[in-house]
Amino acid sequence: MPDTRSTLDLPPGPAFMLDGDEELFVLPSDADHGELVGRGRCWFLPESPTSSEPAWLVEADGAIVARRTGTGWRVETDGPPTRTAHRPRPHADVTGAPFLLDLPGGELLADAFAGFYWGTMLPSVIERTAAKDYPDADGYVASTLASTYLGTYPDVDHEFQIKGRLAWGSRLDLDVVRRMIELQLRMMREDPTGLWRDPCAVQPDGTREYHVRRNSMDGRENAVMFLVTGNIEVLESIWLYVARTKDVAWLAARIHDVEGAASGIEEYIDAGGRLWGDVYYEDQVIKDGRETMAQALAVRSYGLLAELEDLLHRDDRAVAYRALRDRLAASLRDPLPSGWWDADELRFVDWVDRSGRVHDHIHLLANVLPVLAGAADAEQERAVEALVQRELAEFQRFPTFLSARIADYTDSEIGDGGPYDLCAAGRYWCWDAAYWWHRRDGRMLRDQLDRVAAQGAADGYVMGERYDMDHVYYVDGSPWHGAAHYYEYPCVYSWVLVHDYLGIRPALDVDLVIAPRLTEVGTVELGAFGVRYTHAADGFTLENLAGSPRTFRVDLSALHPGAPERVVEIAAGGAVVLDGAAS
């Protein structure tokens, strides 16, 4: 029989091979992986995101083999391939679904969205390349691509890795999210103490760091790193995944593991409804006690877990989790010394240590998270709004800052690795942006996105870990410190852009929520979500690009003040025009 293989030569640069059928994997090239074998699609990008050369998508009906040569790539396919030119960093996801941001200044946002995805988010997925022979390969996603920080970090990093991939929403990205969650649930189930702890790190050799303590700079204090962080965040991750995929069967098969994760939080809740959560996100701030971020996010996650139990008609469990949520919320809004509210300063404090000492340097998330979790009363919410406005210059330096008074941290509060955790990081921005979405303030969101996109463009879309410390710590002229080529800003940028500014959000009761916070008129299309909408001065057109009818909950209140929330069903390929009028 004749040989039907075809050969193609392409220039050097990063390559991304898809593999799988029912379940998708991506194989990114790197210095050690110059032979990629998959099927269906492979992308070949020029070295530079600003290259005048295009990226190429090669598609074939069967197997594709790509081998790095001295001059580029040699590509072999079963049968003749198709080759399609794209931008150097394609405005499409790895499955080929395109996106469009036809907005004033939208090219800056779109280029950053693409640059971060192709430059950081996809190369971080090493399940079938660098991690192929690791004991725990599936769901193993790297946090940094230019550092000695080995391992995958379920306790903190998975939360934001997952959110970034949910924002892209492709089949591949959703499969990666599922595997990351399944890795976390298995790690908790296999905790040798039986306490359902989510490990800080899983190392390439299979070592699991379930319990990590860190000393303060002066050696006087120490605290457990991320005692309950992963258990709290995985509940939200599961809610988001189920809301996006509607895969209730997957949830039902794992609900006992999910409840096990929740039990790992309850272990540290006292009779007064106070969670003794120690360090939450800030691994270089020594918080040995009850931490406000942990309390607020636990309130939120138990509420989300109750909604998941409702889906499975596990009514007794839903009632129990809502009762626990309400008990935690009541404790959170209580005044000091039993609660977290400082009635004199009119703000929530950061943490209270095990000796009863209050630690407070005007912490951003300690104040906005109780509002977002629905735990703050009306007076507290007004006070937080005034606080955020009063301290806006400090809180919005990059974005965003941890505390307004970072120079006041003591050597007993800063970890022995140094003060780099006191500055702007993507994980803080995620929740700050959620607060501005809650406030319907699209201008703040747009300003934040523009600044991060501009920094990304200046650095070739390779971003460091921590930004804007140069005015207090590490005064050396560099805008960032910590790990290089880090995952946080790329992932959180994607989440804030799609989930908050463009307002395309998952839900349990409808296919999607459309709740944009745009500041300009224009058209947005996200192919992975099968959605296109056009915002005009006098109305809003929503199109369903999917091949089946879908239901959308539409909130245009930020675009047309007073517009009612509406639920609309749109036929496959159909559209609906909403006039934006108030009810």
Q: Is 110 helix (H, G, I), strand (E, B) or coil?
A: helix
On whether the CB atoms of residues 167 and 494 are closer than 8 A, the answer is: yes
Average pLDDT of the chain to the nearest whole number: 96
Mean pLDDT value of segment 388-411: 96
Q: How high is the pLDDT of residue 581?
A: 62
449, pLDDT greater than 50: yes
Closest to 304 measured CA to CA, from 137, 117, 507, 155: 507
pLDDT tens profile 135-157: 999 999 999 999 878 899 999 99
CA-to-CA distance for 328 and 320, rounded, in angstroms?
A: 12
- The two three-digit tokens of residue 51, written as one number: 């290259």
CA 369 to CA 294: how far, in whole Å? 9
* 420 band by pLDDT with thresholds 50, 70 and 90: confident
Q: Calculate mean pLDDT across residues 241-248.
A: 98
Residue 493 has pLDDT above 70, yes or no: yes
Q: How far apart are CA 477 and CA 473, in angstroms?
A: 11
Rounded to 5 degrees, what angle do the CA atoms 265, 269, 272 make?
Answer: 155
pLDDT reported for residue 3 = 62
Which residues, in sequence order, are CB contacts of 153 under 8 Å at separation 6+? 143, 200, 201, 202
Q: pLDDT at position 351, please?
A: 98
- Can you tell me the mean pLDDT for 238-259? 98
Predicted confidence (pLDDT) per residue in 33-72, tens digit: 999 999 999 999 999 999 999 999 999 999 999 999 999 9
pLDDT score at 583: 43
Average pLDDT of the segment spanning 279-296: 96
Condensed to tens digits (0 to 9), the pLDDT of residues 271-281 reads: 999 999 999 99
Report residue 168: phi and psi, to 5°.
-75, -45
What's the pTM value of the predicted model, to 2 decimals?
0.98
Length of the chain measured in residues:
583
Give the 3-state secondary structure of residue 45. Answer: coil
49 alpha carbon, distance to own chain's centre = 23
Calpha distance 234→141 (Å, rounded): 15
CA distance 116 to 468: 20
> For residues 174 and 169, what is the distance between their CA atoms, to the nearest angstrom?
6
Cis status, amide bond into 400, omega within 30 of 0: yes
Q: Three-state secondary structure along 430-493? A: HHHHHHHHHCCCHHHHHHHHHHHHHHHHHCCCCCCCEECCCCCCCCCCCCEECCEEECHHHHHH
pLDDT tens digits along 372-394: 999 999 999 999 999 999 999 99
Task: Provide the pLDDT for residue 582.
Answer: 52
C-alpha closest to that of 283 among 154, 421, 170:
421
- Asked if 53 and 46 count as a contact pair (C-beta separation under 8 A), the reply is yes
pLDDT for position 1:
42
pLDDT at 406 over 90: yes
> Among residues of the chain, what percentage have pLDDT more than 90?
96
Secondary structure string (H, E, C) spanning 230-255: HHHHHHHHHHHHHHHHCCHHHHHHHH
User: What average pLDDT score do residues 296-322 get?
Assistant: 98
Q: φ, ψ for residue 363 (rounded to 5)?
A: -85, 130
Kindly report the number of other CB atoms within 10 A of residue 568's CB atom: 15
Instruction: Inform me whether the pLDDT recorded for 4 exceeds 90.
Output: no
444-473 per-residue burial string, b: 16 or more CB within 10 A, e: under 16: bbbebbeebbebbeeeebbbbbbbbbeeeb
Instruction: Examine the pLDDT at 171 and tell me if it is beyond 50.
Output: yes
Percentage of residues in the chain having pLDDT higher than 70: 99
DSSP state of 498: I
> Cβ of 379: how many Cβ atoms within 10 Å?
11
pLDDT at 150: 84
The dihedrals phi and psi of 543, each to the nearest 5 degrees, come to -115, 140
pLDDT above 50: residue 407:
yes
Structure tokens at 416: 């022995």
Q: Give long-range contacts, CB 8 A cutoff, 24+ apart: 405-410.
A: 405/361, 405/362, 406/361, 406/472, 406/473, 407/472, 408/361, 409/285, 409/361, 410/218
